[in-house]
Amino acid sequence: MIRLGWLSLSICALLILPLISPLNAAHGLPLNPKKLASELKMTPQTVRVKLSNLGRVMVIKGTDLALSLAKKPELGNIRADQWMIDCKRSLIIDPNTGKARVIPRSGVLIESISGILAINDRRFRDQIVVYPQDLLSPYDSKQRSNPECVVINHINMEKYLESVVNGEFNSQWAESAVEAQIIAARTYALYQMNQMRKDRGRVFDVESTQKDQVYLGLDSADSKAAQLVAKTKGMIMVGKDNKNLDPIKAFYHSSCGGWTALPQQVFGTKLSGFTRRVPCPFCIGSPSYHWEHVMTLNEMSARLAKGIRVDSANRKVWPKALIDHWSGYKLTDVKPIGGHYPDDRRDDDEISSKHASILPAAHAGAAQEPRVRDLQFEFTKLDRFGVKTAQKLRVKMDAYQARNWIDPAKLKSTWFSLERFGNTLQFRGLGSGHGVGMCQFGAKKMGEKGFSRNQILTYYYPGVKIARVW
Ligand SMILES: [Zn+2]
**pLDDT digit string (tens) for 191-202?**
999 998 888 778
User: From CA 74, how far away is CA 64, in angstroms rounded?
Assistant: 17
Q: Are strands 438-439 and 252-253 parallel, antiparallel or unpaired?
A: parallel
pLDDT for the residue 29: 42
Asked whether 237 and 413 are in contact (CB, 8 A), the reply is: no
How far does residue 313's CA lie from ligand 1's centre (Å)?
31
How far does residue 258's CA lie from ligand 1's centre (Å)?
5
User: From CA 165, how far away is CA 213, in angstroms rounded?
Assistant: 10
**Torsions phi, psi for 35 (to 5 deg):** -105, 30
Q: Is 41 helix (H, G, I), strand (E, B) or coil?
A: coil
Dihedral over alpha carbons 291, 295, 297, 299 (to 10 degrees): -120
Decide if pLDDT at 13 tops 60: no
Q: In the chain, count H helices and then E strands.
A: 10, 21
How far does residue 467's CA lie from ligand 1's centre (Å)?
25
Sign of CA dihedral 88, 94, 95, 98: negative
Nearest to 401 by CA among 3, 18, 8: 18
Q: Is residue 425 part of a domain?
A: yes
How far does residue 229's CA lie from ligand 1's centre (Å)?
24
Greater confidence (343 vs 6) lies with: 343
What number is the average pLDDT over the span 32-40? 53
How far does residue 442's CA lie from ligand 1's centre (Å)?
4
How far does residue 2's CA lie from ligand 1's centre (Å)?
16
Decide if pLDDT at 113 tops 90: no
Helix, strand and coil percent figures for the chain, each rounded to 5: 30, 30, 40
How far does residue 117's CA lie from ligand 1's centre (Å)?
39
Least confident segment among 84-98, 255-269, 360-374: 360-374
Q: Is residue 417 part of a domain?
A: yes
How far does residue 142's CA lie from ligand 1's centre (Å)?
33
Decide if pLDDT at 30 tops 50: no
Q: Is residue 5 part of a domain?
A: no
Asked whether 213 and 10 are in contact (CB, 8 A), the reply is: yes
Nearest to 429 by CA among 358, 371, 380, 367: 371
Q: State the DSSP code for 437.
A: S
What number is the average pLDDT over the span 299-316? 93
How far does residue 205's CA lie from ligand 1's centre (Å)?
28
Decide if pLDDT at 11 tops 70: no
Asked whether 418 and 426 are in contact (CB, 8 A), the reply is: yes
pLDDT for the residue 12: 38
What number is the average pLDDT over the span 391-420? 96
Kindly report, residue by residue over 205-231, the tens digit of the pLDDT. Answer: 999 998 899 999 999 999 999 999 999
Decide if pLDDT at 361 tops 90: no
How far does residue 439's CA lie from ligand 1's centre (Å)?
5
Letter for the amino acid at 383?
A: D
Q: Is residue 153 part of a domain?
A: no
Q: Is residue 193 part of a domain?
A: no
Q: Is residue 332 part of a domain?
A: yes
How far does residue 252's CA lie from ligand 1's centre (Å)?
10
How far does residue 356's CA lie from ligand 1's centre (Å)?
11
Decide if pLDDT at 86 tops 50: yes
Range of the structural domain that residue 311 is part of: 290-430
User: From CA 173, how far away is CA 178, in angstroms rounded?
Assistant: 6
- Domains in the chain: how many in total? 1
Q: Is residue 441 part of a domain?
A: no
User: From CA 85, how far away is CA 60, in angstroms rounded?
Assistant: 8
pLDDT for the residue 410: 96
The model's pTM is: 0.84
Decide if pLDDT at 347 tops 50: no
User: From CA 20, how far away is CA 402, in angstroms rounded?
Assistant: 22
Q: Is residue 386 part of a domain?
A: yes
Least confident segment among 109-123, 126-140, 160-174, 343-357: 343-357
User: From CA 329, how far away is CA 386, in angstroms rounded?
Assistant: 9
Average pLDDT, the chain: 84
What value, to the nearest 5°, has the Cα angle with vertex 47 and ends 41 and 51? Answer: 100
pLDDT for the residue 247: 96
Which contacts (CB < 8 Å, 24+ apart) does range 454-457 have? 454/180, 455/176, 456/176, 456/177, 456/180, 457/180, 457/183, 457/184, 457/237
Greater confidence (104 vs 3) lies with: 104
How far does residue 71's CA lie from ligand 1's centre (Å)?
50
How far does residue 460's CA lie from ligand 1's centre (Å)?
9
Q: Are strands 78-86 and 424-430 parallel, antiparallel or unpaired?
A: unpaired
How far does residue 278's CA lie from ligand 1's centre (Å)?
9
pLDDT for the residue 359: 43
How far does residue 282's CA lie from ligand 1's centre (Å)?
6
Decide if pLDDT at 73 tops 90: no
How far does residue 430's CA lie from ligand 1's centre (Å)?
10
How far does residue 256's CA lie from ligand 1's centre (Å)?
4
Least confident segment among 131-135, 231-235, 359-363: 359-363
How far does residue 447's CA lie from ligand 1's centre (Å)?
13
How far does residue 260's CA lie from ligand 1's centre (Å)?
7
How far does residue 277's CA lie from ligand 1's centre (Å)?
11
**Torsions phi, psi for 168 (to 5 deg):** -105, -35
What number is the average pLDDT over the span 40-65? 88
How far does residue 434's CA lie from ligand 1's centre (Å)?
11
Asked whether 437 and 260 are in contact (CB, 8 A), the reply is: yes
How far does residue 188's CA lie from ligand 1's centre (Å)?
19
pLDDT for the residue 305: 95
User: From CA 363, how far away is CA 58, in angstroms rounded?
Assistant: 53
Kindly report, residue by residue over 371-398, the tens digit of the pLDDT. Answer: 999 999 999 999 999 999 999 999 999 9
Query: Concatenated DSSP letters for 373-424?
Result: -EEEEEEEEE-TTS-EEEEEEEEEEEHHHHHHHH-TTTS--S-EEEEEETTE
Q: Is 59 exposed, middle or buried (0-12, 13-18, 19+ CB in 10 A)?
A: middle
What number is the average pLDDT over the span 37-64? 85
Nearest to 104 by CA among 38, 160, 166, 50: 38
Greater confidence (151 vs 1) lies with: 151
Decide if pLDDT at 83 tops 50: yes
Pinpoint the alpha helices (H) of 100-206: 157-168, 175-196
pLDDT for the residue 22: 32
Nearest to 286 by CA among 412, 408, 453, 444: 444
Q: Where are the beta strands (DSSP E) in 87-192?
A: 91-93, 100-102, 108-119, 122-131, 150-156
Kindly report, residue by residue over 126-174, the tens digit of the pLDDT. Answer: 999 998 876 654 455 454 556 778 899 999 999 999 999 999 899 999 9
User: From CA 407, how far away is CA 405, in angstroms rounded?
Assistant: 6
pLDDT for the residue 37: 56
pLDDT for the residue 463: 92
How far does residue 204's CA lie from ligand 1's centre (Å)?
31
What number is the average pLDDT over the span 300-323? 93
Decide if pLDDT at 3 tops 80: no
The confidence band for 7, taking pLDDT boundaries of 50, 70 and 90, is: very low
